[in-house]
Amino acid sequence: MGNETNIMQAVRSTGLMSEDQAGQLQALISTLTPQQALWLSGYLAGIGQQLPSANGNGSAPGAVVQATGGGPEVTVLYATETGNAEGVAQDFAAKAAEVGLNATAVDMADYRTKDLRNESCLVLVAATHGEGDPPDPAAGFFEFLWSRKAPKLSEARFAVLSLGDSSYVEYCKAGRDLDERFEELGAERVLDRVDCDVDYEDAADTWIEELVGVLQKEGVPAGGAAPAATVGLPAGIPGLAGAPAKPTYTRRNPYEAEILESVVLNGRESDKETRHIEFLLEEGALEFEPGDSLGILPENEDAVVAAVVDALALAPGDPVTVGGEERPVAEALKHDLELTLLTPGFLKAYAEVAEAEDLRLLLEVENRDALLRYMKCNQVSDVLQEHPVTGLGAQSFVDMLRKLQPRLYSIASSQKWMPDQVDLTVAVTRFTADGKRRNGVASTYLAERREPGETVEVYVDHNKGFKLPPDPDAAMIMIGPGTGVAPFRAFLQEREETGASGRNWLFFGDRRFREDFLYQAEWQRFLKDGRLTRMDVAFSRDQADKVYVQDRVRERSRDLFEWLEEGAYLYVCGDADGMAPAVHETLADVIREEGGLSPEESEAYLRDLQQDKRYQRDVY
């Protein structure tokens, strides 16, 4: 009540807001961290300087506003698939504002390319998707940049931060390409590019600090910058200085979620194991929307750890330092370091100490395909056994390894539908490669090494690029074979809970109808209730000729094109290597045939859908 009283007192004393507006402001402020509140105050001050007002000077009466300093204009362009690059771009803009730089963060998907020739200072933050591709939403910007329409940028300065995953051969390629292309177009590099792995936060923070310092030194008038924009707010608001803020759970500070239930969705005769896993959430602990993912912080299997320790003839208790903390090597290998996923960086480092010429050859550009096959079939212990090294110390070895990374799973439930839990649909990975048994580190951790009642460290990974239509009346076409159907379960739950009236069409596929029809009873209920307008299924192993979701899409081409022409949103979720490209190709064919378009025009049609956020993909 005290915080609400503060807001209401401020409203009544200034007359600036209605009580309804004050209530909405209170609801927002109560969720903010101190850093978010500081950024928002500056953002609102900037808006306040641009809005007309009764006294004609751009400031509302009674508001406490300090404008930013006279620093240079900086445009921060970001290319993002899941939102990480956007977060870094916004962090840079906020840090720049603190020292008086006028920085604006803009999604490359929304940027007007005709403005590029007028830019004087560009900061580029780019994620790489899969093997070297730019994020889908930024594809149009990249295409423009490499076209003959791209302007000369001899008057511009730039800096690039790349986000990527070093387990891919084309590590940080989107950022590297941008860095090279801006140099080709004549722009001056302000700061060397930095490539960040999946644990990017520390490197990104350092880069932001360094770049802001360089730009401040070069661009802010003598005497220093004006303080960052701030807006006066009542004291005692949760999340602001002087008041306790609720915990913010992140990858660095995960939430301990109790497993409520873990059930196998497949039939007894299935050759797959897909689990529906439910986690209990305390009220307000995690906040998520349909389309977001849950990050799981797993542990390596004891047998995998033992194989590495034995191959190097180490003692499990040998001390090593990881992340500034000293601990026994076996413990570090279990909890902190990647053992099941090879990276080119590890192979390069180990090839040097092992003097392994065959590993060096694999890393040559012309042997890229062979390297990919090798990395897919082998783990760290295999490399150690094939190329034994005598006397390699524990610390020297762990310094070669990448940190054990969280695994992301599409959330399969709506928080509006079920506020106190979050659901996942997990395909348990077990396979044989070159005669060697392999287990997925996170999926078997959830399926075999954690039981209901035990806890798992989790956090929410927000995905702004895979979201429900903003218009509840808009239609949706959802294509999700296997566990790719998980977010669409959340989509339909959310639409039912909110009473959205838009039509919904689901394409689902798996191996066998009787054994692998995930959530069959739920889809049937949605169909019966009218929430699911139509559903097409493809079970590849139930007939002599395999049938996949893209085949069903082709068979329904006329209806699908009509839905798109009428404004439907199109979603694809699942395998990035096989399914997603096949579905994209089929969609282009459908649009070309039904719309009477050329191949180039059908691809442009899909790009326009992406630009309008009506074609969204969550592929992995």
Phi, psi (5° rounding) for residue 131?
Answer: -85, 70
Mean pLDDT over the full length of the chain: 87
Q: How confident is the model at residue 315 (pLDDT cuts 50, 70, 90)?
A: very high
- Residue-level pLDDT at 72: 58
pLDDT value of position 41:
56
Task: Give residue-wise pLDDT tens across range 470-505.
Answer: 999 999 999 999 999 999 999 999 999 999 999 999
Q: What is the mean pLDDT of residues 368-382?
A: 92
Instruction: Give the residue among 202, 290, 208, 207 at the shortest CA–CA distance from 252.
Output: 202
Question: Which DSSP string corresponds to 94-161?
Answer: HHHHHTT-EEEEEETTT--GGGGGG-SEEEEEEE-BTTTBPPGGGHHHHHHHTSTTPPP-TT-EEEEE
Per-residue pLDDT of 132-151, as tens digits, reads 889 888 988 999 999 988 99
Cα 405 to chain centroid, rounded: 14
Hey, what are 579's tokens? 């399914």
pLDDT tens for 240-279 read 444 445 678 999 899 999 999 999 999 999 999 999 999 9
Q: Which of 74-88, 232-246, 283-297, 421-435 has the lowest mean pLDDT?
A: 232-246
pLDDT tier for residue 464 given thresholds of 50, 70 and 90 = confident
Residues 243, 100 contacting (CB under 8 angstroms): no
* Residue 518 pLDDT grade (very low, low, confident, very high; cuts 50, 70, 90): very high
* pLDDT on residue 37: 58
Strands 430-433 and 615-619, by their bridges, are unpaired
Specify the long-range contacts of residues 210-217, CB closer than 8 Å, at least 24 apart. 211/92, 211/123, 211/159, 212/92, 212/95, 212/96, 212/99, 212/101, 214/190, 215/71, 215/72, 215/74, 215/96, 215/101, 215/121, 215/190, 216/71, 216/99, 216/100, 216/101
For residue 129, list its beta bridge partners: 133
Question: How many residues comprise the chain?
Answer: 620
DSSP single-letter state for residue 57? S
- CA–CA distance, 163 with 461 (Å, rounded to integer): 15
Amino acid making up residue 263: V
Give yes or no for a contact between 479 and 571, defined as CB atoms under 8 angstroms apart: yes
What DSSP element (H or E) covers 394? helix 394-398
Q: Tokens 């560009």 label which residue?
A: 122
| pLDDT above 70: residue 42 | no
For residue 262, what pLDDT is reported? 98
The answer on pLDDT for 288 being more than 70 is: yes
Which residue is listed with tokens 């990881």?
322
CA distance 297 to 615: 30
The tens digit of pLDDT for each residue in 162-183 reads 999 888 888 899 999 999 999 9
Residues facing residue 133 across a β-bridge: 129
Question: Coil, helix or strand for 246?
Answer: coil
**Number of continuous H segments (helices) and E segments (strands) in the chain:** 22, 20
Helix (H) or strand (E) holding 579: helix 579-595
Q: How many CB atoms lie within 10 A of CB 40?
A: 16
Position 208 confidence tier, pLDDT thresholds 50, 70, 90:
very high
Note whether 398 and 432 are within 8 A (CB): no
Whole-number Å distance between alpha carbons of 204 and 133: 21
* Token pair recorded at residue 406: 């969280």
**How much is the average pLDDT of 304-311?**
97
67 contacts 226 by C-beta, under 8 angstroms: yes
Give the helix ranges, DSSP H, for 423-578. 441-448, 486-498, 513-516, 520-529, 549-555, 557-565
Which ranges constitute the DSSP H helices of 449-556? 486-498, 513-516, 520-529, 549-555
Query: What is the mean pLDDT of the segment spanning 51-67?
Result: 32
Query: Minimum mean pLDDT among 22-26, 75-79, 86-90, 207-211: which range?
Result: 22-26
pLDDT at 245: 56
Cβ atoms 479, 507 nearer than 8 A: yes
Domains and CATH numbers, the chain: 73-219 (3.40.50.360), 255-298+406-461 (2.40.30.10), 302-398 (1.20.990.10), 476-619 (3.40.50.80)
In order, the DSSP letters of 260-303 are EEEEE-S-TT-S--EEEEEEE--TTS----TT-EEEEE----HH
Supply the pLDDT for residue 434: 77
CA 567 to chain centre: 26
The share of the chain scoring above pLDDT 70, in percent, equals 84
> With 50 as the cut, is the pLDDT of residue 366 above it?
yes
The encoded tokens of residue 368 equal 């890229």
pLDDT value, residue 44: 55
Mind listing the pLDDT tens digit for each residue in 550-591? 999 999 999 999 999 999 999 999 999 899 999 999 999 999
SS (H, E, C) 23-37: HHHHHHHCCCCHHHH
First to last CA, the chain: 46
Q: How many CB atoms lie within 10 A of CB 457?
A: 17
Query: CB of 474 within 8 A of CB of 567?
Result: yes
Distance CA 498, CA 472 (A): 9
DSSP 166: T
At residue 20 the predicted structure's pLDDT band, cuts being 50, 70 and 90, is: low
**CA-angle at 322, arms to 89 and 385, nearest 5°:** 110
Determine the residue type at 568: A
* SS3 track for 305-326: HHHHHHHCCCCCCCEEEECCEE
Identify the pLDDT of residue 203.
93
Which residue is associated with the tokens 């959310």?
A: 494
pLDDT band at 223; cut points 50, 70, 90: very low
